[in-house]
Amino acid sequence: MNIPEQYLKALVEISRQINSILQPEELIEKILDIALQQLSAERGFILLKDEQNEEQFTPHALRNINTPKISEVKDISHSTVDMVLQTAKPLLTFDALSDERFDAAQSIVLHQIRSIACVPLLLKGEMLGVLYIDSRGEKARFTRQSLEFLQAFANQAAVALENARLLVRLQQENAILKEEFHRIYAFKEIIGRSKAMEPVYQIMGKVLNNDSTILITGETGTGKELIARAIHYNGHRKDKPFVAVNCGAIPENLIESELFGHKKGAFTGAVSDKKGLIESADGGSLFLDEIGELPMLLQVKLLRFLQDRKFTPVGEVRPKSVDVRILSATNRDLQAGIKEGVFREDLFYRLNIIHIGIPPLRERKKDIPLLCDFFMKKYNHKLNKNIGSIRAEALQNMLAYAWPGNVRELENSIERAVVLDTDEQIGTDDLLLASRELSPDGIEAGMSLEEISKNLLTKTLSAVDGNKTRAADMMGVSLRWIHYKMKEWQIPS
Ligand SMILES: Nc1ncnc2c1ncn2[C@@H]1O[C@H](COP(=O)(O)OP(=O)(O)OP(=O)(O)O)[C@@H](O)[C@H]1O
Ligand SMILES: [Mg+2]
């Protein structure tokens, strides 16, 4: 190739420019602009193979060609573009009017095109499209050297374009896979496939790799700490510490120094400098468990820390700063705490940037069999036992039970059953559930209204031999409600 130095220099610069553009559409525009500019051409376009339909080529980035329709674009340049598409060779004509190759090409005559340069966009022998430019001036402007330059440029452009398209495709695929992955597999330590858990996984997927402050709420034993840990250990801070502080368990007079640290001699007993838990979590995550138990004075100090991530150890004068993600959890109703004046509203808003609410186990009964299986395996392994399954009747009882202690309670009863069991199946007796917890009327504190309604409807229907009108009368509801609920709860007629 015989490319003059000025072109070579331009190529280096151009390559830098086009390789920095990652958006395919923007890149296509830029490629055409560069070609027009370097060859002082007036008009042009880029024809590209469709990503969906490989048979079809569509024009992009038209310049000074007013119509976006392929037939009309082709009209201008039909013969040229076709020839390049077929031969995959660059084509140059100095004076299209007198070029014998275009005798039949009415279009060229029609549009008075004097000078055409058209090069294929080839990538590893595959035709991605063509770059077409022309000039309608009286004098032919394009030279053989300019064609060589254009082809060298087009080769680079093809690579850049393919990279940009590939990147977009990968980003799209990646986003889909990530969603899917997080929905189903990412948190393998968290058991649960019920619909009620989906929003939890969805939010988790979105916060893993940022530093947003998260408040996790849910009844006791629903897995708040488990989820906090999963967020940390699946996120970008996973190689840094996860420090959990139970705000309810530290004596009030020690919390400040535990959290923020102290200087030697700051108070009686402070025999040496001590790093606080916040500082130990530097770079990682700080999990403030039972945040609802934090005393007022400490709420103020925590708020100050959350505002600028700076804190002053007890007895120290100069503030220190750390980089930590804050997660907190509570089973208390913080809003009620605010109303009662025991929890600061401003702190609540600082902590509750992202909220994850974990549903109680009774609202995700579908997960009970999965959890049973999971804990059975866990305790079989731990206790060197070999319990194979849970009896159907025992499982029925578990499904009917309200689980006030949620997953922790379920885990404990499975553990107990695995310890106590002598045959290879867990039965109702091993679980110590129904007889202990369910009252004779089938109602028990903590049950959901839905569950009570369902039990009541089932009982009433059986008392009236399935007569829905009578059941509706007795229950004081409409017949439609009965039909609707029987369908929803799959109660057989
Ligand atoms: N979805 C789950 N999959 C597997 N194990 C779970 C799940 N949810 C909770 N657990 C287990 O249940 C127990 C209690 O969970 P965790 O300590 O995270 O609950 P918590 O909401 O923090 O409870 P508390 O409010 O009492 O502090 C743990 O052993 C945890 O591993
Ligand atoms: Mg907890």
Q: Give pLDDT tens digits for 64-119.
A: 776 555 555 555 566 778 888 889 999 887 765 566 665 555 455 445 667 888 99
Atom of ligand 1 at shortest distance to CA of 331?
25
Query: 59 in ligand 1 pocket by Cβ < 6 Å?
Result: no
Q: At CA 152, angle to CA 150 and CA 158, rounded to 5?
A: 95
Amino acid at 76: I
Q: Whose CA is nearest to atom 18 of ligand 1?
A: 223
Residue nearest to atom 31 of ligand 1 (CA): 226
Q: Residues 25-56: pLDDT tens digits?
A: 899 999 999 888 888 888 888 989 888 877 78
Short-list 355, 364, 24, 378, CA closest to 166: 24
Sequence-distant contacts of 406-413: CB under 8 A, at least 24 apart:
406/218, 406/219, 406/220, 406/221, 406/222, 406/223, 406/360, 406/361, 407/221, 407/222, 407/223, 407/361, 407/371, 408/220, 408/221, 409/221, 410/361, 410/368, 410/371, 410/372, 410/375, 411/371, 411/375
Q: With beta carbons less than 8 A apart as the criterion, state whether 284 and 234 touch.
A: no
pLDDT at 334: 94
Percent of the chain with pLDDT over 70: 86
Contacts 24+ apart (CB under 8 A), 380-389: 380/418, 383/418, 383/419, 385/418, 385/419, 385/421, 386/424, 387/417, 387/418, 387/421, 387/424, 387/425, 387/426, 388/424, 388/425, 389/424, 389/425, 389/426
For residues 400 and 394, what is the distance between their CA atoms, to the nearest angstrom?
A: 10
Q: Whose CA is nearest to atom 8 of ligand 1?
A: 223
CATH level 3 topology of 449-488? Arc Repressor Mutant, subunit A (1.10.10)
What mean pLDDT do residues 467-493 have? Answer: 86
195-357 against 449-488: fold identical: no
Q: Which tokens belong to 332? A: 């208390």
Distance CA 406, CA 413 (A): 11
Q: Is the CB of 224 under 6 A from ligand 1?
A: yes
Distance 298 CA to ligand 1 centre (A): 27
Per residue in 455-464, pLDDT tens? 889 888 887 8
Residue 224 Cα: closest atom of ligand 1 = 21
User: What's the gap in Å between 432 CA and the centre of ligand 2?
Assistant: 24
Residue 131 in tokens: 């770059």
The Cα 53–Cα 36 span in angstroms is: 28
Distance 288 CA to ligand 2 centre (A): 10
Which pLDDT score, from 0 to 100, does residue 110 have?
Answer: 47
Ligand 1 near 246 CB (within 6 A): no
Choosing from 185, 407, 415 the residue with most ligand 1 atoms within 8 A of its CB, the one to mutate for a pocket test is 407
pLDDT in tens, 329-371: 999 899 999 999 999 999 999 999 999 999 999 999 999 999 9
408 CB under 6 A from ligand 1?
yes
pLDDT at 387: 87
Has this prediction a pTM greater than 0.75? no
At 415, the pLDDT band (50, 70, 90 cuts) reads very high
Share above pLDDT 90 across residues of the chain, in percent, rounded to a whole number: 39
* Residue ranges near ligand 2 (ion) with Cβ within 5 Å: 224-225
CATH code linked to domain 362-437: 1.10.8.60
Q: How far is CA 30 from the centre of its chain?
A: 32
**Highest mean pLDDT: which of 138-142, 190-194, 486-490?**
190-194
How close is the Cα of 403 to the center of ligand 2, in Å?
16
What is the structure's pLDDT at 434? 42
Q: What is the topology classification, in CATH, of domain 5-169? A: Beta-Lactamase (3.30.450)
Position 307 scores a pLDDT of 93
Query: Does any ligand 1 atom lie closer than 6 A to the CB of residue 168?
Result: no
Highest mean pLDDT among 9-23, 110-124, 182-196, 306-320: 306-320
| Ligand 1 atom at minimum distance from 289 CA | 27
Atom index in ligand 1 nearest the CA of residue 226 equals 18
Q: Which residues neighbour 443 within 8 Å (Cβ) at sequence distance 6 or greater?
A: 452, 455
Other CB atoms within a 10 A radius of the CB of residue 170 amount to 10
CATH top-level class of 195-357: alpha beta
Q: Where are the domains of the chain?
A: 5-169, 195-357, 362-437, 449-488
430 lines ligand 1 (CB under 6 A): no
Average pLDDT, the chain: 85
Comparing 73 with 279, the larger pLDDT belongs to 279
For the record, the structure tokens of 74 come out as 């082709």
At 435 the pLDDT is 43
The secondary structure of residue 359, as a DSSP letter, is P
Q: Give me the pLDDT at residue 438, please.
A: 46
Atom of ligand 1 nearest to the CA of 290: 27
225: Cβ below 6 Å to ligand 1?
yes
d(CA 482, CA 472): 7
Q: Is the pLDDT of residue 436 over 50?
A: no
> Tell me, what's the pLDDT at 378?
93
Distance 370 CA to ligand 2 centre (A): 21
User: Which tops the pLDDT comparison, 377 or 61?
Assistant: 377
So what's the pLDDT on residue 360?
95
Please tell me the distance between residue 408's alpha carbon and the centre of ligand 2 in angstroms: 10
Highest mean pLDDT among 59-68, 245-254, 351-360, 381-390: 351-360
Q: Which ligand is nearest to the CA of 219?
A: 1
CA of 455 to the centre of ligand 1 (A): 28
Residue scoring higher pLDDT (414 or 39): 414
- pLDDT score recorded for residue 176: 74
Averaged pLDDT, 419-436: 73
3-state SS, residue 206:
helix
What was the pLDDT predicted at 20? 84
CA 315 to each of CA 280, 309, 323: distance values in angstroms, whole numbers, following the listed order: 18, 18, 22
Q: Look at ligand 1, atom 28, and give the residue with the nearest C-alpha.
A: 408
The amino acid sitting at 381 is H
